Structure 1
């Protein structure tokens, strides 16, 4: 069946936002390029009106331009192999696809066959979350990964010695892909489908990972605080540096104090600790 192909040029900081928006209207595959993203949808799943609405929403702010085409009989494995380069986060972890050569000089290695570009480590938010994970003791800890995407952060928690890892996402395609990546990395847990309220994780967690977006983080912050153990760590990303103050203002009254922050390409990441 033929795929519709859209080569979208945009500002770098809008790549992940556009991927998220388009994935909600029938697009099922994405490739990041030097100038933006290539987005693909089955002709039968494509809705022109919904697509036009998304593009119009970001056209000016993200400086969007696009080219449309038809791509028959896509060999996605070949496309990923051409466009997906491995990355290294310091000497902590080497993130690669199954067709890349292993690099044993790194402390850890994660195999991610992304299919969509959520959480491959290339985006600044995922990169910083992995780096922050390397600064937190996971040994024997109970970890919750909120909005897990490809499952890369859950896999990192497993490699760092977590005793149990729970993960979920609102997108059934991400759940399927995440579980495939769990199998590749010998992680026995299964990713669940739903929001944090729908999944309703029970008990307390030593570490909560949430790389989503500002609005979701603000909406769910109280739930994170309730699920986090005393002296537990909450790692957040998915928002801009100018949003840090808003996140802190929301977190502080809930007993969540800022421990560390970093930024990359104007994307921020925080470590918050639950205090009495």
Structure 2
């Protein structure tokens, strides 16, 4: 299906009003992008920042009346309609386009993450075959890689695991392939739970090894290892929950945290855990701790 993009040069003050106007004018979706090379790695806790110069793009059916859209926007935004331009969006097979750029990733001495549509480069290694679908977690992001690298370097034989915010199931499945006994996988997104189940089956894991739950349905069973690769804000809020899910003497692994947020996250868990030194990759950190 062909599409048209309406690209508007806004600011952090005007971006939300432009978004509302685009949606009210029939846009199928709206995206915000940095318009001046001002990276935001991760918002501070409790904040939802935008760039000082924000490019707002609305996606429209190619058959839309562009003149009518602009009239509607002008009526909603008054005389302050920012600079804009229309641009066609090529109709492409975006899933296949993405697949061409996703290659196997080595995560330590034993573990490889391999797209399910490619042959593993080292068949004798531990190869996790992954089809992430709509769920987060491919191993390419620094936070996921940090967790996978850590799992590859610890003894997991016979351990029980909780993967909180499991996404594609990549961390739980990696732990099981590396020797863990079972995993409880928890996520707020039904799609993530489906992706986790599919990926577990793809890797030959028995159904009873990988159990999936929405948070409100998850059993309050403590495990030897708890992994949560989410974001700093939710991790702080979840500190009592994740502590209760960790056995005394068990290990906690947290990621999805930028370096400046590590101290605040560690403070939230300090009543229960003793932390090891943080490990960083591209300004993201992994935190590991032992429960007292």
Task: Say if 1:193 and 1:206 are closer, same or farther in 2 by CA, change over 3 A.
Answer: closer
Unaligned runs of 5+ in 1: 9-46
2:162 to 133, 139, 144: 144
Aligned partner of 1:51 in structure 2 is 30
**Greater shift after overlay, 118-127 or 89-98?**
89-98
SS at match of 1:273: strand
What is the RMSD of the two structures over their aligned residues, measured on CA atoms?
3.0
Task: Say if 1:142 and 1:117 are closer, same or farther in 2 by CA, change over 3 A.
Answer: closer
Aligned partner of 2:16 in structure 1 is none
Aligned partner of 1:74 in structure 2 is 93
Q: Hey, which of these two has a bigger chunk of helix by percent? A: 1
| 1:107-140 per-position Cα deviation (integer Å, ceiling 9, x unaligned) | 4111111224711000000000011112332111
Unaligned runs of 5+ in 2: 8-25, 35-47, 60-87
Aligned partner of 1:30 in structure 2 is none
Aligned partner of 1:60 in structure 2 is 51
**Greater shift after overlay, 62-71 or 207-216?**
62-71
Pairs within 5 Å for 1:1-276:
2=1, 48=27, 51=30, 59-60=50-51, 69-70=88-89, 72=91, 74=93, 76=95, 78-104=96-122, 107-116=125-134, 118-187=136-205, 188=207, 189-190=209-210, 192-195=212-215, 198-253=216-271, 255-275=272-292
Task: Say if 1:92 and 1:5 are closer, same or farther in 2 by CA, change over 3 A.
Answer: farther
SS at match of 2:290: strand
Structure (1 or 2) with the larger CA radius of gyration: 2
| 1:144-191 per-position Cα deviation (integer Å, ceiling 9, x unaligned) | 000101110011110111111110211122222222111111122455
Inter-partner Cα distance in structure 1 for 2:132 and 2:202: 12
Inter-partner Cα distance in structure 1 for 2:239 and 2:197: 26
SS at match of 2:278: strand
What TM-score, normalized to structure 2? 0.69
SS at match of 1:218: helix
Q: Is the 8 A contact 1:239 1:268 kept in 2?
A: yes
Aligned partner of 1:41 in structure 2 is none
SS at match of 1:90: coil
Q: Is the 8 A contact 1:93 1:106 kept in 2?
A: no
Inter-partner Cα distance in structure 1 for 2:4 and 2:230: 26
SS at match of 2:276: strand
Give the C-alpha shift of residue 204 in structure 1.
1.7
| 1:72-127 per-position Cα deviation (integer Å, ceiling 9, x unaligned) | 57373x33431212211132311111221212266411111122471100000000
Task: Say if 1:147 and 1:101 are closer, same or farther in 2 by CA, change over 3 A.
Answer: same
Aligned length: 230
Give the C-alpha shift of residue 203 in structure 1.
2.2
Q: Is the 8 A contact 2:183 2:211 kept in 1?
A: no
Q: Is the 8 A contact 2:108 2:152 kept in 1?
A: no
Inter-partner Cα distance in structure 1 for 2:213 and 2:2: 26
What TM-score, normalized to structure 1? 0.73
